[in-house]
Amino acid sequence: MYAYEALPVAEWFRRNRELAGFHNPTRALYQTVRELVENSLDATETYGILPTIYLRINIEDEQKSWVSVYAEDNGIGIPGAEIPNVFGRVFYSSKYRIKQHRGVFGLGLKMVVLYAQSTTNKPVYVRSAALKSDKIYEYQIMIDTNSNSPIILDRKEYPNKYRWHGTAVKVYLEGSWLAAKKRIEDYLKRTAIIAPYAEIAFKGPDMELWLKRRTTKLPPAPKEGLPHPKSVDVDTLKQMVAESRGMTLLEFLMESFDAVGEGTAKVFLEWAGFNPNMKVTAMTPEEMVKLVEKMKQYGGWRRPRSEWLSPVGAELLEIGAKAILGAEAVFAVTRKPESYGGHPFIVEAAVAWGGQIPPSDKPVLLRYANKIPLLYDEGADVARKVVDEFNWQNYKVKFPASLAVIIHVCSTKIPYASAGKEAIAEVPEIEKEMRLALRDAAKKLRLYLSRKEKEMEMFNRYVSLAKYVDEIAHNLAITSRLDKDKLAKHLHKLIETKIGLTVEELVKHTLSLSAAPQEAEETAAQ
Amino acid sequence: MTTRAEFLKRLESWGVKLAKDVLELKEPVMEIPARTLGNTIWDEKARMLKLGPEKMHRRFLDMKEARRFMQTVLMLRLIVEAIREDVYPTIRDLYYNGKHTISFKDPLSRVHRENTWDEQSESNAVIEDIEVATNVLREEMGVSADVKGKIVGPIVVRSQGYELDASKFGETALSLPVNVDGLEIVKVEAAYVLVVEKDAIFQRLVREKYWSQENAILVTAKGMPDRATRRFVRRLNEEYKLPVYVLTDGDPYGWYIYSVYKSGSIKLSYESERLATPDAKFLGLTATDIDAYKISDNYVIAANDRDVKRAQELLRYPWFQKPEWTREVNLFLKKKKKVEIEALSTHGLKFLHDYLKDKIRGKKFID
Ligand SMILES: Nc1ncnc2c1ncn2[C@@H]1O[C@H](COP(=O)(O)OP(=O)(O)OP(=O)(O)O)[C@@H](O)[C@H]1O
Ligand SMILES: [Mg+2]
């Protein structure tokens, strides 16, 4: 179930922390929250657990602007023996497999620990129990940056009487709460939109935010997968060869890659000029480079499979956006899987309309990559370009409008535009899918808007007749000496027959289209 | 004679029919003869305008008609109640009695407010609709309008027992009552009736004693004549065989006023048989008069677009299809010039008298 590997570059990353988002006390606090929350989500939803996350930020020393961040989840936990490495060894991760996670580098936690100890010289406090573990472990850990290894300051064990599982982490760091507050709030809300099945309770020094669980439905967990031949680089190939235990080239292709059957493998090897029976371990470095090149060039591969992707799905997106944005209506689509350079990807889009979305001259854009909200560098993101170039007029939208657009790309490899991992690059395949996803969602919006227009028209037609009923009944009753109430009742009936709907139906239709969103049903935490 | 009670029955039964339709869940539809140009028939023989057979259908369930439907039902009730209570309202009274704000709260709790009517023209129009739909005239309902008509001249009438001699009003005049049919004509010694469009000219002719010199009855309705004035002129012509001459401004509007006295109006064509005076003759002013009487350019006014449009309409009316009228209207359209009656002062104030006498003695009028 776990496969942990180590790479020795702690020192290098300490010196290059801006790459990982720890530029300054503001970004560092925001980034710390992100790393912890994303690890918690990975440790829960990926394993079929409905996430419940407590997050607390305290101001510890106003003078030195020291803050503490505490995060606790109900995830699968970390086996006691692994805790020191997970927190103290850079590039130590269980997520190197080809499967969609939020975390990918095996770096996040360590950057938090490194930044924390370099600013406050305090260790990270960890408490964790793995699933079914009869013990709870508590550690205080720091990182030795020279040897890329953990320093254990304290270690305790407790009996796990109630079979608790999960992880709690607390770090002390220099951070600017006031400057980061808005971003953190935004980040948590946007996370709740894409993960409405999560319960997130946040307490900051001067605010509280309780993002309730809106549904108990989890997106299907991604399966683990093998790399597509087109997506492999030389380093990865070397690693794979090392694990190949004496297979032939033919076996190696069939066993270690996605979408390669015996037929495909034979045809490819012949085309590329390799001997299928050659032992992979016998390949020279030059042959390895050639194999990678040929695999990239070959046109006969099947498309990469997408089972290890985990899109949110239209239903969850709609629930999330309605609840958090207070939208009147949300229309979401999940496109079919596509691929670029051997990496499968799926684009999802949602348009949220009306309600509490503040009207503005262009749509509010909420970007996500593998369920992670992207908050910075919006201008550099291809999604912004797609949304700006979109012809909203064709979809009955006139600005200023209360309109928000959600675009989510999930992939085994997100093509980021910069090292900050905050914007998606202009990959033609992805751009095209974004366009199509947005178009599909906007079509649904258009249908809704024109239906609403029609309903409103019908309602107005009703009003334009019904407003006279009383006056007419009153006067006719005096002239004819017949019963006024009966006349009024019958006049109303005549209107209903004419319109083809009863007033109740009419109201229901009109309301269902224009009323404030109903609170999604509350469901108890499991 | 039909009594007011019988008219009431007719009005009520119209309302009852609408109400019964509602109770039977049939859409209530009012069938109302159309008071439009298209449904106005020129009766060549009777020499007057009559209402054609065309009917319009005012439906409650038609969004464009619902408001008018409501207004008609409201007015019907006001009239019915007035008769039941034996009161005699004016059309202005009915306008005020019926005017209020309807307030409707729709199922979404939005409140809509609307006045039953805003202008008196709206309430007047539904009164006329009810008249034609039920075939009960306003006078028969006991509903009156402001009467603008007044007369001066050798005629004695009796009103509520008082004898009034229209030759003894000095510089003032005898105002016509609402119900001129109730006015008993005691004695008439006039040679003819002169209808003057404008009050100012009427007053001048009174002051200058034109009527006594000519032994004529002077009538004015201050512009477009009301029904009572038209009815009275008709009676003088019908009952006393007095020739009727009409004097208006020399423009399409004045000419149309003449035709209303003579043939009836488009809007009230159903009333022509009571109101029209087919024998009435037009004295002037005509377009030809401008040259014929050498009217100075100082008095000649350039016609505007509205005058031109009105003239073109006159040319299309069947009751203007006489060579004299086509010639006059076309001359007007050619020269695009109009004159008011006052223009006759071009040759001194007294010239008006000479003009009138010249026209009447020389039979220089248009029939
Ligand atoms: N809250 C948690 N619950 C269970 N396991 C955790 C938790 N946080 C971290 N881990 C484990 O520790 C490993 C290292 O985490 P870390 O955040 O350093 O890297 P990552 O999440 O794999 O990648 P990234 O650098 O993108 O965050 C994870 O792969 C996971 O196995
Ligand atoms: Mg992580």
Measured CA to CA in angstroms, residue A338 lies from A166, A348, A370, A433, B347 at distances of: 35, 12, 15, 8, 100
Q: How many CB atoms lie within 10 A of CB A28?
A: 25
Structure tokens at A18: 């801006």
Q: DSSP assignment of A302-321, as one string?
A: PPPP-TT-----HHHHHHHH
Question: What phi and psi, each to the nearest 5 degrees, are found at residue A215?
Answer: -160, 155
B320 in a structural domain:
yes
B257 in a structural domain:
yes
What single DSSP character describes residue B26?
P
Mutate to test the interface with B, among A457, A458, A468 (most CBs of B within 10 A): A468
pLDDT of residue A519: 36
pLDDT of residue A517: 37
Distance CA B158, CA B166 (A): 11
- Tell whether B8 and B135 lie within a shared domain: yes
pLDDT, greater one: B116 or A412:
B116
Please state the rounded mean pLDDT for residues B303-322. Answer: 92
pLDDT of residue A91: 61
What single DSSP character describes residue B249?
-
Burial class of residue B213 in the structure, from the number of CB atoms within 10 Å of its CB (0-12 exposed, 13-18 middle, 19+ buried): exposed
* A40 in contact with ligand 1, CB cutoff 6 A: yes
pLDDT of residue A90: 64
pLDDT of residue A525: 31
- Nearest CA to CA, how far is B65 from chain A (Å)? 9
Tens digit of each residue's pLDDT (9 = 90 or more) over B184-221: 999 999 999 999 999 999 999 999 999 999 999 999 99
pLDDT of residue B347: 85
- Tell whether B108 and B155 lie within a shared domain: no
- Tell whether B128 and B158 lie within a shared domain: no
* A75 in contact with ligand 1, CB cutoff 6 A: yes
Distance CA A331, CA A314 (A): 8
Measured CA to CA in angstroms, residue A46 lies from A50, A100, A314, A374, B140 at distances of: 9, 9, 18, 20, 90
Where a domain ends, among B90, B108, B141? Answer: B141
Q: Rounded mean pLDDT of chain B?
A: 93
Scanning A68-87 for CB atoms below 8 A from B yields none
- Which atom of ligand 1 has the smallest separation from the CA of A90? 18
B94 in a structural domain:
yes
CB contact under 8 A, A476 and B102: no
Would you say B132 and B56 are in contact if contact means Cβ atoms under 8 Å apart?
A: no
Judged by DSSP in three states, A493 sits in: helix
Distance CA B102, CA A471 (A): 7
Q: Does CATH place domain A229-297 in 3.40.50.11720?
A: no
Where a domain ends, among B98, B121, B141? Answer: B141
- Tell whether B136 and B166 lie within a shared domain: no
Would you say A254 and A262 are in contact if contact means Cβ atoms under 8 Å apart?
A: yes
Residue nearest to atom 22 of ligand 1 (CA): A106
Q: Is the peptide bond before B285 cis (omega within 30 degrees of 0)?
A: yes
Residue A448 neighbours by CB under 8 Å, 6+ apart: A329, A331, A353, A513
CB contact under 8 A, A479 and B22: no
* Cα-to-centroid distance, A87 and ligand 2 (Å): 10
- Tokens 């020191």 locate to A84
Query: Whose CA is closest to B70, among A467, A284, A425?
Result: A467
B48 in a structural domain:
yes
Judged by DSSP in three states, A42 sits in: helix
Q: For domain A9-211, give its CATH number from 3.30.565.10, 2.40.30.10, 3.40.50.10420, 3.10.129.10.
A: 3.30.565.10
Structure tokens at A418: 């910069």
Question: What phi and psi, each to the nearest 5 degrees, are found at residue A420?
Answer: -70, -10
Distance CA B360, CA B320 (A): 21
* A39 in contact with ligand 1, CB cutoff 6 A: yes
- Tell whether B313 and B219 lie within a shared domain: yes
Minimum mean pLDDT range among A66-75, A401-410, B22-31, B297-306: B297-306
Please give the single-letter amino acid code of residue A85.
N
Please state the rounded mean pLDDT for residues B242-253. Answer: 95
What is the total count of domains within chain B?
2
**Which residues in chain A are contacts of B22 at CB distance < 8 A?**
476, 487, 490-491, 494
Judged by DSSP in three states, A73 sits in: strand
What is the H or E stretch that residue A155 is in? strand A149-159
Structure tokens at B177: 């009552």
Q: Tell me which ligand sits closest to the C-alpha of residue A95.
A: 1
Burial class of residue A378 in the structure, from the number of CB atoms within 10 Å of its CB (0-12 exposed, 13-18 middle, 19+ buried): middle
| Alpha-carbon B54 to chain mean position | 22
- Tell whether B91 and B113 lie within a shared domain: yes
The residue segments making up the domain with residue B132 are 4-141
Relative to beta strand B244-247, strand B192-196 is parallel
Is the pLDDT reported for residue B321 higher than 70? yes
Give the CATH number for residue B164.
3.40.1360.10
Mutate to test the interface with B, among A480, A489, A503 (most CBs of B within 10 A): A480
- Tell whether B173 and B229 lie within a shared domain: yes
pLDDT of residue A102: 61
CB contact under 8 A, A479 and B15: yes
Q: Is B95 a catalytic residue?
A: no
- Tell whether B70 and B178 lie within a shared domain: no
pLDDT of residue A4: 44
> What is the 3-state secondary structure of B72-134?
HHHHHHHHHHHHHCCCCCEHHHHHHHHCCEEEEECCCCCEEEEECCCCHHHHHHHHHHHHHHH
* Cα-to-centroid distance, B195 and ligand 2 (Å): 104
What single DSSP character describes residue A426?
-
- Tell whether B251 and B127 lie within a shared domain: no
Where a domain ends, among B117, B141, B165? Answer: B141
Burial class of residue B31 in the structure, from the number of CB atoms within 10 Å of its CB (0-12 exposed, 13-18 middle, 19+ buried): exposed
Residue nearest to atom 21 of ligand 1 (CA): A103
- Tell whether B118 and B181 lie within a shared domain: no
Domain ranges of chain A: 9-211, 229-297, 314-444, 447-525
- Tokens 């079919």 locate to A336
B267 in a structural domain:
yes
CATH number of A314-444: 3.30.230.10
B22 in a structural domain:
yes
pLDDT of residue A5: 43
- Tell whether B116 and B162 lie within a shared domain: no
Please state the rounded mean pLDDT for residues B65-85. Answer: 97
**Which residues in chain A are contacts of B67 at CB distance < 8 A?**
468
- Tokens 């992207």 locate to A374
Give the CATH number for residue B63.
1.10.10.10
Question: What phi and psi, each to the nearest 5 degrees, are found at residue A318?
Answer: -65, -40
Distance CA B175, CA B366 (A): 29
Relative to beta strand A166-174, strand A329-334 is unpaired
CB contact under 8 A, A482 and B106: no
B342 in a structural domain:
yes
> What is the 3-state secondary structure of A173-227?
EECCHHHHHHHHHHHHHHHHHHCCCCEEEEEECCEEEEECCCCCCCCCCCCCECC
Candidates A464, A474, A475; nearest CB to B76: A475
Mutate to test the interface with B, among A452, A455, A461, A467 (most CBs of B within 10 A): A467
- Tell whether B118 and B171 lie within a shared domain: no
B259 in a structural domain:
yes
Is the pLDDT reported for residue B60 higher than 60? yes
Measured CA to CA in angstroms, residue A461 lies from A68, A470, B119, B257 at distances of: 61, 16, 25, 42
Q: pLDDT 10s per residue in chain A (526 long)?
A: 334 444 445 556 556 666 667 888 999 999 999 999 999 999 999 889 999 999 999 999 999 999 999 999 999 999 999 999 888 876 665 554 445 556 556 678 888 998 999 899 999 999 999 999 999 999 999 988 777 789 999 999 999 999 999 999 999 999 999 999 999 999 999 999 999 999 999 999 999 999 999 999 998 877 777 888 888 888 788 888 887 778 899 999 998 888 888 999 999 999 999 999 999 888 999 999 999 999 989 988 888 777 778 899 999 999 999 999 999 999 999 999 888 887 889 999 999 999 899 999 999 999 999 999 999 889 999 999 999 999 999 999 999 999 999 999 999 889 988 766 789 999 999 999 999 999 999 999 999 999 888 888 888 899 999 999 999 999 999 999 999 999 999 999 999 999 888 888 888 877 665 543 333 333 333 3
